[in-house]
Structure 1
Amino acid sequence: MALKSVHSLSIPTCISSVHNTRSRSRFSIFPALNKSPRLSHSVRVMGSYASSQKPDNVQEASSIGYASISEEEWKKRLTKEQFYITRQKGTERAFTGEYWNTKTPGTYHCICCDTPLFESSTKFDSGTGWPSYYQPLGNNVKSKLDLSIIFMPRQEVLCSVCDAHLGHVFDDGPPPTGKRYCINSASLKLKPK
């Protein structure tokens, strides 16, 4: 397919082009799609760090059936903003969340189910205005492909225990993982050390 301007492509043509990116080495109109061959790989390995021992603060899936909690019950348990972010996949405005610039040592837990998600030692200043971490705790965080923005496929980050929406993960973080878990403050609760 000859490269056309973005404005001349119809939505079905763009979507078709997205699905065909594996057969081409680069697709320069949509730079975010240049990584699509690696996308399925990142889905498989996200949050799975090889280790024979689990840290003490890694929580296994709870026996509590979070899937059975109704929308009305979540609304009672959470603030309006927390509900919007975690249960409706919202995003808080940059530089407004409680933890975007916090440097307090401790562990960040899920606001919905109290699962420990990130250690403050993995937090870094990404310059984005959201709390950013280069590594989650064990398998307490999972990710899945988010196609809510057609031209910008991303990896959504969720709590492994209650499926709360936390934010997104990108491949532009610091060593040792190269990941940037960009998380909404409203989905977190910091427990200082």
Structure 2
Amino acid sequence: MNKSIDELLDINKLITEMVEIINNHNLTRYSKAYYLKNVAIQTWTEHYPLKNSKQIKCKFWSADAFKQKFDVNFIGEKERLFHEHVIPKSYLIEEIFLNEEGQPVTFDYIQHYLDEFVFACVVTKSEHDALNEISKSSMPDEFRIVKGGNYLNMWLRYSKADIEVYEIEWVKRQPTIKCVVDYTSSWSSS
């Protein structure tokens, strides 16, 4: 499957391809997971809603990463910046896209989860390490506890790591802080 990035940037083509691959019984689970991790999810977080948004044009930045990158008065040692998936890709793949339900996935199913759960935040190296210490490939248990206050709280790892996050608006490659993400309220990435 030799796809150019421009082909994958057509949302309908990307989702249709995801549905076909996930529902293909001739492909191994490993092949499906490899495609989801390295093509589909990565493409989604780096190019939606804006093309080439791995860092510049990324919708979410930690306060520390933002200050380091854009504050001309920043004093201190600059760290490497990471495009961090808010919900780890492994969790998305195993729990959502390749779950054990046995039912074929649909276009609407994939689109819903891409829109609501698949997005990234730019963080510093030390924040990246703190997030991985909390949970590198999964979400904390309380993410799945329906009666808990953190049920489906996408920012749960960030809250536990005490990382403040800004939602950013971009105008001509110039960022403006729209708001500070509130970890305690119901939230949607769209």
Please say which structure displays the higher CA radius of gyration.
Answer: 1
Hey, which of these two has a bigger chunk of strand by percent?
1
TM-score (norm 1): 0.28
TM-score (norm 2): 0.28
Hey, which of these two has a bigger chunk of helix by percent?
2
